[in-house]
Structure 1
Amino acid sequence: MTSTASGTVREFKMPDVGEGLTEAEILKWYVQPGDTVTDGQVVCEVETAKAAVELPIPFDGVVHELRFPEGTTVDVGQVIIAVETGSGGSAPAPAAVPTPAAAPTPAATEEAPARQPVLVGYGVSQGSTKRRPRKATAAPAAPLNGHGEAPAAPAAPVAATVPAQGSRPLAKPPVRKLAKDLGIDLATVTPTGPDGIITREDVHAAAAPAPVAPAPVLAAPAVEALPAPVPAGDRETRIPVKGVRKVTAQAMVGSAFTAPHVTEFITLDVTRTMKLVADLKADPDMAGLRVNPLLLIAKAVLIAVRRNPEVNASWDEANQEIVLKHYVNLGIAAATPRGLIVPNIKDAHLKTLPELSGSLSDLVATAREGKTSPADMQGGTLTITNVGVFGVDTGTPIINPGESAILAVGAIKAQPWVHKGKVKPRQVTTLALSFDHRLIDGELGSKFLADIAAVLEHPRRLITWS
């Protein structure tokens, strides 16, 4: 926190909006320098841990400076915005520091700002401010305009408006920033503002006939604010690795080189499941709910977990323990405009089919809107990824970090299949189960995958095995 001629500047730091986050990318600013903000007002949107999160400011004031442009990745704890929290109606000179039997003088003096309580996301730093020379006759303070500057006032005596020789030129922080951007030495600028303050117009006049730069919103050039591909010649394009792509890459590398992956496959006839999907769509109890094959596949996975509870576990490397989970937080891999994310349905094992349908719909809608919170992507136990929506038969998925297994669902296609002794066209798909071999051995993994297939081949087991 610092003090200026018109008030106190408080800084807001990038907070940790999730567990263990170290950085976030600024997606969009909702305010600009000079805007008035109130406690709790959202000032920007950031992306972190694969989620877009809106950040509110924890105090009132006028935006003094945005420290980073949109598209910049900022470490947690760095100051991202400064807000002037002084009085918005006038700009009085700071009170003089009391001294015994000493009369005020025009010389500049310094005083320490009052210490403010530390709030989440920002802290207190020491600053200083220079007092203005006192005028011989007191006059009412001039009202501020929308840019934090005082309008022109009647001419004052030269001795009261011209700073003492060798003192720092009087100018507000935005004006100093403008002068710095234009390469103007404030000591060479003739002030026209009240009390000898240099205004924006004074700086622009000193810069003439050079082109006038826009108000200093952001220090970095616009090209840096856009997370766009970086040209590297006619034959290749370089794309910065950041945001979702960066987080996903780090997680997948960590998983692939930490957990010993094993993948098993099974091809099965899901014709009966597809008929059940059609029946459920017409069921009044499912009216208004989204019913698709993924819903029944998710239910089949939950039933298979109940029959094989040892698959629902995690590996505690620090304590060298296997942690059995007595709950299922079912992850659903979702492709979004920002990349692949894996939110999970908390306590999915406790949900009825209609409740599971509603949770799946909410999860997908929130993910596509980019509003999935970090909490929704933490604590998963196992995951389903539906690669079949892209027309892919199957794959070898990488386990989501901290989980035990991931099931890939391939495309459902009409294929020739032996049914009741005859070759007939049936709806067929292939499932691929990748699992952590530290937790799940071949027998357990095979039983788990076979139980999922059994439910989907004969969906009446949704009732008999529940």
Structure 2
Amino acid sequence: MPDVGEGLTEAEILKWYVQPGDTVTDGQVVCEVETAKAAVELPIPFDGVVHALLFEEGTTVDVGQVIISVQTGAAEEAPAAAAAAPAPVAAPAPAEAAEEPAPAARQPVLVGYGVSQASTKRRPRKAVPGAAAAQNGTAAVAVPAQPEAAPAAAGLNGSGSGHSVGERPLAKPPVRKLAKDLGIDLASVVPTGEGGVVTREDVHAAAAAAITPQAAVPAPAPAVPVPVQPEAAAAREARETRIPVKGVRKVTAQAMVGSAFTAPHVTEFITFDVTRTMKLVQELKDDPDLAGLRINPLLLIAKAVLVAIRRNPDVNASWDEAAQEIVLKHYVNLGIAAATPRGLIVPNIKDAHTKTLGELSTALSELVGTAREGKTSPADMQNGTITITNVGVFGVDTGTPILNPGESAILAVGAIKLQPWVHKGKVKARHVTTLALSFDHRLIDGELGSKFLADIAAVLEHPRRLVTWS
């Protein structure tokens, strides 16, 4: 499983496009996976015959684990052999079996990482002198002999951890950070995870043991099973549905919590007349020079935001916590919140400030279409500066949007409705909407935020300013 996006540690296999025995070629897509940011198709980087699929669809796999094995050598093995499970690394043979270790055969390839000479489960352990690698018919791994005999307790490090001497304990980055924060040496932790991986529970157990003397720990009372009435369990299940939070929904939840409690949010609202903008939308739809383009109010709202940024460039910034600095951006990567079957994502239009109205229309259409198909790449969701979320499509008047992490502001667009409005001294039916702007008060003070929001409204109330202010 390759790292298809910076900082991602796992992905869920959504669909396999190949089966054991199928022939694959370099660059052929073999599966689709969903990370915490998007669904991504994975190509195979070589030619061969699929030997085995190591995980089923719907399984969440850590980055770095082998998910598919492929026979890339001469076609000496029958395709039927490809359906068998991959053979594990053979245990070291007795010293009398061979004088020297057998040569290492080519192992199945980890997609995106080239050829691996290690076991598919974990890194190879050192063997006793004279050990030789066994051949398994598909692939073999050589176990090198050691120059000196290993001590009898080579599998222990003196504290009963079960790690090999000199071997770096296996643990995910978050677990390593947890151990560092708690002052726990991973080499002293007894791993209980599959393949000898240290888990969070192992670290917490080691920390508790370090604080509480072993003798002071009272013997746990025998567990008394609590009978569960089948009728009660069935009734509860009939009244509830549990949905696992993973992938896009999981990272969205984490990001929103982090944003809400780290960036000081301020939200301002403005309600105004957009009748002239609605008339302009219709005129642009009828313009033969714009035939084939998707013209809608969101397009002109996006253009109005870009114009307002040009007039108030300090709103386009980010906060550098480490340096305690405000970073002004001289580019606008305009995010558009998109609801997809997998959850809310916010891809952005790169360098939106450089695009014409027609180019902006094309970029919006492509962005929304790709998001709905679930094909948005992680790169399309990185480095956004300001976001627009259109809650008006659901008939909602307004809201208080939460900032996309790392961005300075987010604009919520409410429903555009015919309402009684005072126009030129008379009450008339006019198209009216409400905008809500949430911004990071560390970057944007009340005056700047108010001017920015007022400029957006002024452009949409009198859209000729799209030309005069651009």
Calculate the TM-score normalised by the size of structure 1. 0.70
Distance in 1 (alpha carbons) for counterparts of 2:394 and 2:74: 58
Which residue number in structure 2 is paired with residue 227 of structure 1? none
1:53 aligns with 2:37: no
Residue aligning to 1:113: 104
Q: Which residue pairs with 2:439 in the alignment? A: 435
Equivalent residues of 1:269, 1:428 under 8 A apart? yes
> Any idea what the Cα deviations from partners look like across 1:404-427, whole Å, max 9, x if unmatched?
000000000001111111111110
Q: How does 1:313-462 map to 2 (within 5 A)?
A: 313-462=317-466
1:265 to 260, 263, 269: 269
After TM superposition, list the pairs within 5 Å mapping 1:116-131 onto structure 2: 120-122=112-114, 124-126=116-118
Matched, 1:75 2:62: yes
C-alpha contact (below 8 Å) 1:113/1:127 kept by paired residues: no
Give 1:51's aligned amino acid. A
Answer yes or no: is the 8 Å Cα contact 1:313–1:381 preserved in 2: yes
Give, as a single letter, the amino acid of the residue that structure 1 aligns with 2:379.
A
Q: How does 1:88-237 map to 2 (within 5 A)?
A: 88-90=75-77, 111-114=102-105, 120-122=112-114, 124-126=116-118, 233-237=237-241
Show the counterpart of 2:223. Answer: none
Q: How big is each residue's C-alpha offset from its partner over 1:369-406, in whole Å with a ceiling of 9 and x where there is no partner?
A: 11111111111100000000001001110111110000
Structure (1 or 2) with the larger CA radius of gyration: 1
2:49 — aligned with what?
62
| TM-fit CA distance, 1:234 | 1.2
Q: Partner residue of 2:88?
A: none
CA shift for structure 1 position 31: 1.1
Tell me the distance in 2 between the aligned counterparts of 1:451 and 1:121: 50
Q: Deviations over 1:105-160 (max 9, x none)?
A: x99997231478998425523479xxxxxxxxxxxxxxxxxxxxxxxxxxxxxxxx
* Greater than 3 Å deviation, 4+ residue runs: 106-110, 114-120, 169-174
Q: Does the CA-based 8 Å contact 1:112-1:127 persist in structure 2?
A: no
Aligned partner of 2:58: which letter? G
Deviation sequence 1:213-262 (CA, Å, 0-9, x none): xxxxxxxxxxxxxxxxxx96111111111111111111111111111111
Structure 2 partner of 1:291: 295
Identity %: 82
Conservation of the 8 A alpha-carbon contact between 1:77 and 1:122: no
Q: CA separation in 1, counterparts of 2:360 and 2:424?
A: 33
Q: Distance in 2 between matches of 1:437 and 1:298?
A: 22
> How far did residue 316 of structure 1 move?
0.6
Shift, 1:300, TM fit: 0.4
User: Distance between the aligned counterparts of 1:338 and 1:75, measured in 2?
Assistant: 20
Counterpart position of 1:142: none
Aligned counterparts of 2:57 and 2:77: Cα–Cα separation in 1: 32
> Over the residues paired in the alignment, what is the CA RMSD in angstroms?
2.7
Segments of 5+ residues of structure 1 without an aligned counterpart are: 1-13, 92-105, 129-168, 175-230
Inter-partner Cα distance in structure 2 for 1:244 and 1:118: 24
How far apart, CA to CA, are the structure 1 residues paired with 2:34 and 2:111?
A: 22
Look up the SS of the partner of 2:389 in the other structure: strand
SS at match of 2:307: helix
Question: Which has the larger strand fraction?
Answer: 1
Q: Which amino acid aligns with 1:451?
A: D
Residue 26 (structure 2) aligns with = 39
Residues 90 and 385 (structure 1), Cα distance of their counterparts in 2 relative to 1, 3 Å cut: closer
Counterpart Cα distance in 2 of 1:108 and 1:307: 79
